[in-house]
């Protein structure tokens, strides 16, 4: 898959416009998982903007983001870095070329407490 295509796909699925970023770093300042991450939220934004997506997709940072959305809440420019992280995760999943989960896998994974909504969103996220 070509680099531009992935970039476009990420921008499209996240709905984020990284050009709005004014590089203030408030996202990284606010991030509770900062020290766990190799690439920090502000870097996510600028790397996606530059099409530098490969390293992001291979980075563990992806899974260190807690999706707490503090960066989204506090970004003065409404850039929404967490949505980009989410979109890169999705790109990784989709690149694996197969479904992460099948319907048959589900019964053993869930317990009674799992809300249905979570199942639906997991399906959306982890299947092609």
> Residues interacting with another protein, by CB under 8 A?
20, 22-31, 34-35, 40, 42-43, 70, 73-79
Query: Residue 112 Cβ, how far from another protein at the closest point, in Å?
Result: 36
**Nearer of residues 8 and 38 to another protein, judged by Cβ:** 38
84: three-class secondary structure by DSSP:
helix
Nearest approach, Cβ of residue 28 and another protein (Å): 4
Nearest distance, CB of residue 48 and another protein, angstroms = 17
Task: Give residues with Cβ within 8 angstroms of 53, minimum separation 6.
Answer: 3, 6, 7, 10, 47, 88, 91
CB atoms within 10 A of CB 114: 12
| Residues 49, 90 contacting (CB under 8 angstroms) | no
- Our CB check for another protein shows the closer of 54 and 73 to be 73
């Amino acid at each position: 898959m070509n680099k531009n295509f992935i970039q476009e796909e990420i921008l499209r699925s996240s709905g984020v416009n990284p050009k709005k970023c004014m590089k203030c770093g408030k996202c990284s300042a606010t991030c509770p998982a900062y020290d766990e991450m190799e690439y920090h939220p502000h870097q996510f934004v600028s790397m996606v903007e530059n099409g530098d997506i490969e390293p992001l997709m291979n980075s563990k940072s992806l899974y260190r983001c807690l999706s707490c959305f503090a960066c989204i809440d506090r970004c003065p420019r409404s850039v929404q870095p967490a949505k980009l992280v989410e979109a890169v995760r999705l790109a990784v999943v989709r690149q694996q070329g197969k479904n992460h989960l099948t319907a048959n896998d589900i019964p053993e994974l869930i317990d009674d407490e799992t809300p249905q909504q979570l199942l639906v969103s997991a399906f959306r996220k982890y299947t092609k």
